[in-house]
Structure 1
Amino acid sequence: MYKVTGNHLHLVHTLKGHDSPVTCVDWAGGCDKIVSTASDKWCCVWVYDVERQNWRAQSVQLRQRSAGAIHWSPREDKFVITSSSGLNLCHFETFYMYWWCRYIPIEDPSTPFTAAKLNCVCWHPDNILVGCGGMDTKVRVFSTYHPADSSNMKGLNTDIPFGTMVFSRRANGWINTIR
């Protein structure tokens, strides 16, 4: 991480936690956390330690390798990572002090073989629905609702079970960005 002073860049912090090349990075500005993924099955959630004035890594093991995109939820309490075969939804479990991942496979009846990399992901403002798009020319929307989150949820999508695909549509080409 660099700090800009006038026209100069000064190295302030170096995040070291991956053995493989880093593929994706996303920052949660409200809670000041960074999540990064590598080409292996690991990602790191970086939390700033004010007392030590450095970033400490919390490791998260994913089910699938080759992350394509990563995005924090609007509330910044969970994040989703795309892969070639599905989505990894990660949330922090305070009882265990550990980041848990739940896997959402991409199973689309209209596509018998789905092995296309998912390039992009974006959250709906309700913190429940997540959309993704990829090289198989499809846009999909999934529910990430979990009953444990229901105390804070006031949206319309709380009755859709976790992992349910609520929308799927073919486009005319690869999906590189979704908003």
Structure 2
Amino acid sequence: MPTGVAMRDVRAQLFDAAERILLRDGPSALTSRAVTTEADCAKGVLHRHFADFDDFLAELVHDRIERLEHQAAALRLSAGTGTVVGNLSDALTDLFGTVAVAIVSLVTFRDELRARLRRIRPTGVPLLAEATTMIATYLEDERERGRVAATADVEVLAPTLIGAGHLLFADRKGVAPQPEAVTKVVTTVIAGVLTD
């Protein structure tokens, strides 16, 4: 992009470009040059908006975590409707069918990024920790409605579902799991606590 041409919503354009690279080529291909090339802008644009590339990546992770808040709100609204298995299966597919698996790989791949994120979020893997909270909160809502047993340990069920979901979707280059596979995992994990 020629110098002097204004870009609208630069941060969003750069984040979306980084997401496309992550999904297509994985975390090892994510460089500042690759991002600015993908976003069709000068390399200096990224460095005018972020202190360095790891600052950019940390903000990317935070942006994707904020997007998860919308999914969490929608999942909570689904409590008491449909089926618990269906709602959880859809939530896991929505979560891991997007960039979440690649974000987890990115955090694992880059030591400096992980260190920066640890200063803000000292426990858990960013994005997975928030996703676990989303699932636990939903299960608590369903427990209050009586669709999940009062004795259900949502603090164990939620990370179990997140871990199993992550493993199902972890092969970025392979074919995404069929909906039946996701449903089978969810059913197996929560079968003992469903009341209906």
TM-score band, normalised by shorter chain: under 0.3
TM value normalised by structure 2: 0.25
Higher RCO (C-alpha under 8 Å, 6+ residues apart) = 2
In our comparison, the structure showing a higher alpha carbon Rg is 2
Q: TM-score, normalised by structure 1?
A: 0.26
